[in-house]
Amino acid sequence: MDKYLKSPSQIMREMGFSELINARKVLSRPIIELPLKNEERLFYHPEKRLKRFSGRTAIAYAIIPDSERGKFRREECSPKVSSLRDYVIHKGNRNVSITGVSGQGKSYLTTHLISIFSDKETIIFSFKPNDHELHLGIPVIDAKECLPNPFRDVNAFSEAYMTAFFGEKTSSGIQLQQTPGFLQEIASESDTWKDFMKSLSERKRTASKNQVEALNAIEQNVKTLVIEDMDSVTLNNGSIVFDFSSLPTKQAQNFYAELMLRQIYREMEERKREDVLVLIDEAHRLTKSYHTILDIMSREIRDKGMLWIITQNLIDILPEMRANFGTKFTFRLGDADLNMLSYNPLMRFAVEILQPRQFIDIEFPEGSSFSPVFTYVSNGLEHKETQKVAAEVSEPKREVGVGGRGEIIDFRREAQEILSEKMSYATEMGKIIAEKYGITKDQAKLKLKSALEELKNNNEVGRVKYLREGKPIVMYYSRNPNLSNLHTGMQSQVVGILNDLGVTINRISTTGERSAFDIETDFFMIEIETGLKHSMEDLKDRIKSTNLRVIIIVPNKELMEKYIGLEENVIVATIDSFKVLLEEPQKNRGS
């Protein structure tokens, strides 16, 4: 029997989305209505009046404009059962946030919502010991038993670290600018925490004073993240609650939660998980950071599933992320959040008079005209005994026959072939190899690390820190012939930017032309500098030979200092900042 079919005694008509946004239907009252008892008038508790709706959500009353006295007033209406499932689904955007100060009923509402969406694969992240998510009847797993290996994905490692240690208030500073690059560079050379700490110590020996400060901060922070027993984890499909409360520090909980979220969302993107409901309790741990994957999920998850978050304050959610939740169930809020609702006086008034267990949707479609006030009526059955399950941890291995091929992959040869044609980075090379042999990108990248390290040690490939779309990555290039593919790769990227912006190019030099600039235009000259040659005499001669502005393009910010101050007509930029430079009209003129 379908779980949504009820026996005749259980049948009770619920108002769906189209009825809930219809003021006439919501505000209707019966022709004859029994008066409230005296004690109910003095001490109004919707739960007493709504006992027959136990285990359901009902409309307690509504808020409407007060045409006689101005502003707004509470309007009594007939209690009506509401179908929040239908309401959320028909919003189009099925993402849900649940906010409100402590003790107002967020956990009861969450329990109810999970139960009415029980047909979905539900993945819940819980951070507090013995929290209500651990008693929903969904299997619980101790997250400490199934932590993903953070060194399988260098970008994820960096972003998870930044999420754990840098909130929205930390948006600038030398340490913040340097940290992502250091993290990716060191993590790319590591397979374990022991490797990471060793590489970090070696990096400190040759670092500048400012760099040492950033590296020292990383070293101290990383000590709180080190968990010895980690494996590459394959998570089975099916509903599960991950309990992070056993991890020793808040930073460790946030770091590994972010990594696990990224793993799950990657599986959703690859369609290994279909129509998944991801619920994050205590979401402020992640939603205050610009580095969390939740920002991307909130924007792009709609065709893959739903994202639900629970937190006390609306201001705990970054504005860009907050806009991507189609339903915002809100209980009583603090003053800072109330100020955010000033754009809709009716909603602000409604929130101010809410009683415990009462909530509204501040994204209610007719919110400028009226707003129903909902309440969940407890049936006392919300707390369930839950089975704790053991983690199934396995190291992903490529078996013979995977992808219908079964060849033994020579990762050194594959990397050399890719780098003989162009510069590239580990993630891109891993994707190319994965598609070629029918294995996962993570498998390919994991094996590729050691192959690239071996090629680097044999001086067959080089490695340079590189800015790509604002994010530092480790770029590899072939050392044969004569470093040309690093230089050529940068040159082609610059040409692409110029073409996109409609800048006329007069000449593009070929590799090895010493007397000519790499790219020439009517208003400026461009020189590509990889930073790998020792002498700059040729460059200085070329700069003196022109009256036009000269723009020197380098792979990363650290190399900019080497070229700054050569002549007054010289500008030094990375490829990212070069694009910004040309897009600003006042800087688009030649000297």
Cβ-count burial of 274 within 10 angstroms (0-12 exposed, 13-18 middle, 19+ buried)? exposed
In DSSP notation, 69-109 reads: TSSEEEE----EEE-HHHHHHTTS---EEEE--TTSSHHHH
Task: Per-residue pLDDT tens, the chain, 591 aa: give them.
Answer: 344 444 333 456 889 999 999 999 999 876 555 555 554 444 445 556 677 888 899 999 999 999 888 899 999 888 889 999 999 999 989 999 999 998 899 999 999 999 999 999 999 999 998 888 888 888 999 988 888 888 888 889 999 999 998 865 444 455 667 888 889 889 988 888 999 999 999 999 988 888 898 899 999 999 999 887 655 556 677 889 999 998 989 999 999 999 999 999 999 998 889 899 999 999 999 999 989 999 999 999 999 999 999 999 999 999 989 999 999 999 999 999 999 999 999 999 999 999 999 999 999 999 999 999 999 988 887 777 766 766 554 444 333 333 333 346 888 888 888 887 778 888 888 888 887 777 777 777 777 888 888 888 888 888 887 776 667 788 888 876 544 577 878 888 888 888 878 888 888 876 556 678 889 998 899 998 887 666 778 888 888 888 899 999 988 888 888 888 788 889 998 888 888 888 765 444 443
Q: Identify whether the C-beta of residue 423 lies closer than 8 Å to the C-beta of residue 130.
A: no
Q: Identify whether the C-beta of residue 468 lies closer than 8 Å to the C-beta of residue 426.
A: no
User: What pLDDT shows up at residue 512?
Assistant: 54
Cα(345)–Cα(63) distance, integer angstroms: 11
For tokens 């409407």, what's the residue?
A: 64
User: What pLDDT shows up at residue 41?
Assistant: 46
Cα(19)–Cα(75) distance, integer angstroms: 17
Q: Which long-range contacts (CB under 8 A, 24 or more apart) does 501-509 make?
A: 501/579, 501/582, 501/583, 503/582
User: What pLDDT shows up at residue 47?
Assistant: 54
Taking Cα atoms as reference points, which of 489, 494, 516 lies closest to residue 505?
494
User: What pLDDT shows up at residue 430?
Assistant: 86
Taking Cα atoms as reference points, which of 173, 174, 179 lies closest to residue 222?
179
Cβ-count burial of 452 within 10 angstroms (0-12 exposed, 13-18 middle, 19+ buried)? buried
Cβ-count burial of 84 within 10 angstroms (0-12 exposed, 13-18 middle, 19+ buried)? buried
User: What one-letter code names the amino acid at 498?
Assistant: L
Length of the chain: 591
For tokens 């240690």, what's the residue?
A: 165
Q: ∠ at Cα 115 (357, 112), nearest 5°? A: 0
Point out which residues pair with 242 in neighbouring strands: 125, 141
Three-state SS at 560: helix
User: What pLDDT shows up at residue 558?
Assistant: 80
User: What pLDDT shows up at residue 577?
Assistant: 84
- Relative to beta strand 471-478, strand 424-425 is antiparallel
User: What pLDDT shows up at residue 366?
Assistant: 94
User: What pLDDT shows up at residue 1?
Assistant: 36
Q: Identify whether the C-beta of residue 479 lies closer than 8 Å to the C-beta of residue 462.
A: yes
pTM of the entire predicted model: 0.64
Point out which residues pair with 57 in neighbouring strands: 82, 376
User: What pLDDT shows up at residue 111?
Assistant: 93
User: What pLDDT shows up at residue 508?
Assistant: 81
Helices of type H across 477-569: 484-500, 537-544, 560-563
User: What pLDDT shows up at residue 482?
Assistant: 47
End-to-end, the C-alpha distance of the chain in Å comes to 78
Cα(490)–Cα(429) distance, integer angstroms: 17
Residue-range domains of the chain with CATH: 411-478 (1.10.10.10), 485-586 (3.40.960)
Taking Cα atoms as reference points, which of 506, 514, 479 lies closest to residue 590?
506
Q: Identify whether the C-beta of residue 467 lies closer than 8 Å to the C-beta of residue 555.
A: yes
Cα(327)–Cα(360) distance, integer angstroms: 10
Evaluate the omega torsion of the peptide bond into residue 481 and state whether it is cis, within 30 degrees of 0. Answer: yes
In DSSP notation, 426-484 reads: HHHHHHHHHHHHT--HHHHHHHHHHHHHHHHHTTSEEEEEEEETTEEEEEEEE-TTTTH
Give 318's Cβ-side CA count (13 Å radius).
Answer: 20
